[in-house]
Homo-oligomer: A and B are copies of this chain.
Amino acid sequence: MAVMDLYLRDYFMEEVELFSDEYFMGKALQLAQQAFDEDEVPIGAVVVHKERIIAKGYNQTERLTDVTAHAEMLAITGAAQYLGSKFLEECTLYVTVEPCTMCFGAIQWARPARLVYGASEPKTGYHGKGLIAAPKIEVISGILESDCAAIMREFFKSKRKN
């Protein structure tokens, strides 16, 4: 199967329980695909509140000429606007790749109930920097990990060819 087919497959109708972590990570992965299609590092994020997606983001650092425009940052800002609260205490943030230091810091400030990410990122991820999430934030990793990692690999492989 071609790599691209992986991301385009429908996690929602066929294989995945509705409103499960895999379901929402599939939505985040669709946003990563959108980033990929726009030649951005393919990372996507959604914020979920009471089983509803209230905000989405995908990496737009190139398009916006802004290092702060990571998927998580845009999703956190969007969720706060939706809720009218800067704290996301009843929310889950789904992101396809382990957050970087910046996004980890933002997540600490935003205080979601849960952080769910797909693929680990040993080089830029927060674990590698020795950062530890606040006890009130439940952290789950490895959801749809192989697809979340594959789209990243594919992106950087295509960059090396250019």
Contacts and interface: CB of A to CB of B under 8 A. Distances in A.
A106 B110 contact: no
B67 A86 contact: yes
Nearest to A129: B131
B66 A80 contact: yes
- Kindly report how many copies of this chain are found in the complex they form together: 2
Contacts of A106: 67-68, 102
Interface residues of A, number: 28
Contacts of A104: 101-102, 105
Contacts of A80: 65-67
A69 to B, nearest CB: 8
Contacts of A102: 101-106, 108-109
A135 interface: no
A108 B131 CA distance: 15
10 contacts: A66-B80, A66-B81, A67-B80, A68-B106, A101-B101, A102-B104, A102-B106, A102-B109, A129-B130, A129-B131
Interface of A: 61-62, 65-68, 73, 76-77, 80-81, 84-87, 100-106, 108-110, 129-131
Given A68-B76, A100-B109, A102-B108, 4 more contacts: A67-B87, A68-B106, A101-B102, A130-B130
